[in-house]
Amino acid sequence: MPGEGVRVRLLAVLSSVVSLLANLVFSLLVTRKLATFSLGVLNVVNGAIIMGLIIQTIVSFMATRVTARDGKPSVYMMTLYLLSGILGSIIALLYVTGVSWRFRQIYVEVAYLTMASTFASYLQGYVTSVLTVVDRVRLQGVSLVTSIIKLLLIIYIMYSGWSLFSVLVSSIVITLSAAVYGLTTVLTRLSRIGSLGRYFRETVAASWVPLIGYGAGNLRSMDSMIIGYVGGILDNAMWQVLNVQGKALGLAGSIINVTYGELLSGKDLERRFYIDLLILLNITIMVALFLVFYEPYIVYFLRPQDYSFIQYLRIPVILLTVSSITSIINQYYSWIMQGIDRVDFNGEVTFKTYVGSLVFHAHFAEFILTVVYIASIYPLILLAEVVKLPSPVISGVLLASILATLISLMYRFIHLESRRRLKVPVKSIILDIIAPALLAALVTYLESTLMLTKYPPIKGAIGELIRIAIGAILTTATYLAVSLTVSGRIRSLFTVLLKYIVKSSLNTVNHLSPGG
């Protein structure tokens, strides 16, 4: 892998680590300090924003692809994107209004802040779409800026008494700050290529593809509404606790954006497919082991006032990790399919451009996922009640997610293999992924059992945070030691990364030295 490829992947992992730490600190403190009612409302707001982003799935899809096709971002595409943001904000408002009977006394404030947060997300979405193609290193910088601002705003939230209002305002500021940072690069490259009319026609002509895929996928935010109606605010609060933990499982997600951007830019797939999949899965599995085996520490730190959550969420956390691992494989296949099929690079996009293409099948798989997910939630909630799973509402939703993701992944795998047969080395997967995961799981289970027995969860925030940190360090060290021992490929990859870091450090030192 060339130096630039190593650099951007290393930055992607490092920025993801920093982002994870910032997200965890921010989300942990917010989830810990907010009242249960406020936590439930926050989950509703998050669902409304996701629903409002349904149009972004269309314009983001086109912004990335036309930027790759035209070789530069266009001011007309940016205008179209931001106009879409206004419409998306209105959709988010309608979502909040639909469940406002649960929080009538603060409806107006929640409505305004939800709309503002949705529009800010559109602005950041445009920046991300463009940087995925034109500057993937800068894209990782956006993630780092987001993390820094997020940590700084904890001080504001703290002095505001950990109110729901301060959390919502901070979310807007965080998103806008990252967008503005990225815009400093995007604006220098903006051109007047194309026209508003042409990009509008192309977006409308292509809209059916992302709409049946990721647009329909945004309807999965209805799970919060279903949880609220079938269960209640308490179940929504537990769902929010799970969502906080789920963010950690997206640690390696930046690798997918890097792969997609490189493929759209014409880079070869064969050299990237297995290595990037290897990085994705090993990092995700490592985080999953930490969440499963140190669940009592994490949940009790998040909700010390709700000790019962530890027992209620023990099985759901396991289901969450299974769902997340299958989901990240599914999304990886989706971006691979869309990256290698450049069917829209040969002229203006029309309604027929994507018919039968891998791009279409990638998005149709998302539509299948959404339909199966929404349709199976209630039956699987009833099944969870019958088999007496803890938190049957939450468990049923996660079972539906796993079922839908597996069906979607199977569809993508079949269609990708029919067009582009990829060498999936079964023996290597066993040695590089499955064996390290099983052995590390066994050792981590023994470590966590000893630690939880000797040092059970406590109410003190500092003491509990120390336990969580020790658990994370032990899990990471164990997984690295096992994987480096078992897998020669991981040892080679680790060696390449270390050599690049050492070389970059020496170059920096030489550059800064008086004679450099």
Q: How far apart are CA 62 and CA 126, in angstroms?
A: 10
Q: Among the listed ranges 17-26, 187-196, 204-213, 430-439, which one has the minimum average pLDDT value?
A: 17-26
Task: Specify if 82 maps to a domain.
Answer: yes
Which pTM does this prediction carry?
A: 0.79
Q: How does DSSP assign 352-394, residue by residue? A: TTTTTSHHHHHHHHHHHHHHHHHHHHHHHHHHHHHTT-SSHHH
pLDDT digits (tens, 9 = 90+) for 133-148: 888 878 888 888 888 8
Taking 70 as the threshold, does the pLDDT of residue 2 lie above it? no
Task: Specify if 500 maps to a domain.
Answer: no
Q: How far apart are CA 77 and CA 90, in angstroms?
A: 21
Most confident of 195-209, 212-226, 301-315: 195-209
| Residues pairing with 74 in the sheet | 191
Report the pLDDT value the prediction gives residue 262, as an integer from 0 to 100: 76
pLDDT digits (tens, 9 = 90+) for 76-120: 999 999 999 999 999 999 988 887 777 788 888 889 999 999 999
Taking the mean position of all CA atoms in its chain, how far away is CA 238? 19
Cα angle 276, 141, 285 (rounded to 5 degrees) comes to 35
Task: Specify if 433 maps to a domain.
Answer: no
CA distances to 101, 305, 314, 464, 498 from 460, rounded to whole Å, are 36, 12, 21, 6, 38
* SS3 annotation, 61-95: HHHHHHHHHHCCCEHHHHHHHHHHHHHHHHHHHHH
Burial 7-23 (b: 16+ CB within 10 A, else e): bbbbbbbebbebbbbbb
Total domains in the fold of the chain: 1
What's the pLDDT band for 437 if we cut at 50, 70, 90?
A: very high
Averaged pLDDT for residues 414-428: 82
Q: How far apart are CA 338 and CA 335, in angstroms?
A: 5
What is the share, in percent, of the chain residues with pLDDT greater than 70?
Answer: 91
Task: Specify if 143 maps to a domain.
Answer: yes
Task: Specify if 460 maps to a domain.
Answer: no
Determine whether 328 is exposed, middle or buried from the number of CB atoms within 10 Å of its CB (0-12, 13-18, 19+): buried
* More confidently predicted of 441 and 390: 441
* More confidently predicted of 484 and 508: 484
Which letter does DSSP use for residue 269 in this model?
A: S
pLDDT digits (tens, 9 = 90+) for 234-291: 777 788 788 878 877 876 677 777 777 778 776 766 667 888 888 889 889 999 999 9
Query: What is the extent of the structural domain holding 22?
Result: 2-255+314-425
Taking 70 as the threshold, does the pLDDT of residue 475 lie above it? yes
What's the pLDDT band for 506 if we cut at 50, 70, 90?
A: low
Determine whether 268 is exposed, middle or buried from the number of CB atoms within 10 Å of its CB (0-12, 13-18, 19+): exposed
Task: Specify if 114 maps to a domain.
Answer: yes
Report the pLDDT value the prediction gives residue 4, as an integer from 0 to 100: 57
pLDDT digits (tens, 9 = 90+) for 4-33: 566 677 777 777 777 777 776 777 677 777
Q: Taking each helix axis from N to C terminus, what angle separates 107-134 and 164-189, rounded to the nearest 10 degrees?
A: 30
Taking 60 as the threshold, does the pLDDT of residue 48 lie above it? yes
Report the pLDDT value the prediction gives residue 216, as an integer from 0 to 100: 65
Task: Specify if 459 maps to a domain.
Answer: no
Task: Specify if 490 maps to a domain.
Answer: no
Report the pLDDT value the prediction gives residue 198, as an integer from 0 to 100: 92
Mean pLDDT of the chain: 84
Report the pLDDT value the prediction gives residue 140, as an integer from 0 to 100: 81
Report the pLDDT value the prediction gives residue 67, as an integer from 0 to 100: 92
Averaged pLDDT for residues 166-183: 91
Taking 90 as the threshold, does the pLDDT of residue 492 lie above it? no
